[in-house]
Amino acid sequence: MTTQAELVNLRLFKETFKRFLPNSQAVSLAIILVVSFVLIYSLSDLLMPVFASIVLAYLLEGLVGKAENIGVPRVLAVYLVFSVFMACLGFLLFYLMPMVSQQAVELVQHIPDIINRAQTGIMRLPKMYPKFISEIRIQQMMFAVQKELLSYGQNVLSLSAASVMGLVSAMIYLFLVPMMVFFFLKDKPLLVSWFLQFMPRDRNLTVLVWQEVDMQIANYVRGKFVEVFILWFISYATYAAMGLNYAMLLAVLMGLQAIIPYVGATLVTIPVVSVAYFQWGSGSDDFMYVVVAYSIIQALDGVVLVPVLFSEAVNLHPVAIIIAILFFGGLWGFWGVFLAIPLATVVKAVLTAWPRIGDESRVAV
CB neighbour list of residue 324: distance below 8 Å, 6 or more residues apart: 316, 340, 341, 343, 344, 347
State the burial class of residue 36 (Cβ atoms within 10 Å of its Cβ: 0-12, 13-18, 19+): exposed
Mapped to the 3 state alphabet, what secondary structure does 202-250 carry? CCHHHHHHHHHHHHHHHHHHHHHHHHHHHHHHHHHHHHHHHCCCCHHHH
CB neighbour list of residue 302: distance below 8 Å, 6 or more residues apart: none
CB of 264 within 8 A of CB of 329? no
The SS3 of residue 267 is helix
CB neighbour list of residue 281: distance below 8 Å, 6 or more residues apart: 287
The SS3 of residue 362 is helix
CA contacts within 13 A on the Cβ side of 192: 7
pLDDT values of the chain reduced to their tens digit, one per residue, 365 residues: 456 666 666 666 555 555 555 556 666 777 777 877 787 777 777 777 888 888 888 888 888 988 888 988 989 999 999 999 999 988 988 888 888 888 887 877 777 777 777 666 666 766 666 666 666 776 777 777 666 665 655 554 454 444 545 566 677 778 888 999 999 999 888 888 888 777 777 667 777 777 777 777 777 777 788 888 999 999 999 999 999 999 998 999 898 888 776 667 777 888 888 888 888 877 788 889 999 999 999 888 877 887 777 655 556 666 777 787 788 777 777 667 777 777 777 777 777 666 454 454 444 44
CB of 81 within 8 A of CB of 60? yes
> What span, in angstroms and rounded, lies between the C-alpha atoms of 46 and 169?
12
Number of Cβ within a 10 Å radius of residue 317: 10
